[in-house]
Amino acid sequence: MNMAHPTVLLWVWGSLQAFELVEKENIFQRTPCPAFLMFDNAAYLADMSFELPCHCKPEEVSAVVWYYQKHLGSRHTKVLTDFDGRVLTEESQVRVGSDMLVRFSIRMFSLLVFRAQPEDSGLYFCGTRKGDYFYAYDVDIQSSEGMVATFKDQGQEPIADEHRGSLHIFTTFWEWTPCDRCGVRGEQWRIGLCYLQSPDLSPRYHKTLPDVVSCGSQAVPRKLRAQTREHTPELLVQSCVVPCEKKVQDGLMAIFSYVAKVGSRPWVPEVPIQFHEQRLGHGLIISCPGSRPEHAVAWDKDHQYLYRTQYLKGVNRSMRVFIDHGNHLHIRFTQLSDRGIYYCWRQGVRVAGFRLGVASRGGYRISFSDPETRFAMELTLLGYLFITAVFVTIHLCRCCCYLFHCCPNFSP
Average pLDDT over residues 84-104: 51
Q: Give 366-375 pLDDT, tens digit per residue.
A: 556 556 667 7
Whether 89 shows a pLDDT value over 80: the answer reads: no
**Higher-pLDDT residue of 403, 230:** 230
Contact present, 69 and 49 (Cβ < 8 Å): no
> What is d(CA 143, CA 233) in angstroms, rounded to the nearest whole number?
8
Q: What fold, for 25-142?
A: Immunoglobulin-like (2.60.40)
User: What residue spans in the chain does CATH classification 2.60.40.10 cover?
Assistant: 25-142, 270-359
pLDDT recorded at residue 16: 44
Q: Residue 27 pLDDT > 60, yes or no?
A: no
Is residue 66 within 8 A of residue 134, CB to CB? The reply is no
- Taking the C-alpha atoms of residue 102 and residue 21, their distance in angstroms, rounded to an integer, is 32
Identify each DSSP E strand in 28-181 by its residue range.
Answer: 39-45, 50-52, 65-69, 77-79, 104-107, 110-113, 122-127, 133-142, 148-151, 162-164, 167-173
Burial environment of residue 148 by CB neighbours within 10 A (0 to 12, 13 to 18, 19 or more): middle
CATH number of 270-359: 2.60.40.10
pLDDT tens digits, 321-369: 999 888 899 998 899 999 999 999 999 999 999 999 998 765 555 556 5
The residues pairing with 195 across neighbouring beta strands, listed in sequence order, are 170, 214
Residue 237 CA neighbour count, 13 Å, CB half: 21
pLDDT for res 321: 93
- Say what the pLDDT of residue 267 is: 57
Euclidean distance between CA atoms 279 and 246, whole angstroms: 40
**Cα angle 208-151-231, degrees, rounded to a multiple of 5:** 45
Pairing of strands 205-206, 185-197: unpaired
| CA distances for 402 relative to 7, 196, 393, 394, 406, angstroms | 109, 66, 14, 13, 7
347/325 Cα distance (integer angstroms): 16
CB 270 within 8 A of CB 350: yes
Exposure string over 105-133, b if 16+ CB within 10 A, otherwise e: bbeebebbbbbbbeebbbbbbbbbeeeee
Alpha-carbon Rg for the chain, nearest whole angstrom, is 29
Residue 1: pLDDT band with limits 50, 70, 90? very low
- Whole-number pLDDT of residue 371: 61
The pLDDT-based confidence of 318 (bands split at 50, 70, 90) is confident
Strand 304-306 and strand 321-323: pairing?
unpaired
- Please report the pLDDT score of residue 342 as a whole number: 95
Please tell me the predicted confidence (pLDDT) of residue 240: 94
CA distance 153 to 397: 65
Bigger pLDDT: 6 vs 379: 379
**In whole angstroms, what is the distance from residue 283 CA to residue 322 CA?**
12
Instruction: Of 274, 267, 245, 244, give the one whose Cα is nearest residue 352.
Output: 274
CB contact burial 341-378 (16+ within 10 A = b; e otherwise) = bbbbbbbbebbbbbebebeeeeeeeeeeeeeeeeeeee
Share of the chain above pLDDT 70, in %: 76
Cα separation of the two ends of the chain: 129
At residue 8, the pLDDT reads: 40
Cα dist. 293→107, 320, 328, 333, 342 in Å?
Answer: 22, 21, 9, 25, 19
Nearest CA-CA partner of 204 in 195, 213, 196: 213
Q: Which residues, including other chains, have CB under 8 Å from residue 320's CB and lie 6 or more apart? A: 331, 332, 333
Closest CA to 306 of 152, 180, 157: 180
CA distance 28 to 216: 30
pLDDT band at 299 (very low <50, low <70, confident <90, very high): very high
pTM value? 0.69
Stretch (H or E) spanning 321? strand 321-323
pLDDT at residue 376, as a whole number: 77
Instruction: Enumerate helices (H) and strands (E) in the chain, giving the number of each.
Output: 6, 23
pLDDT at 271 over 90: no
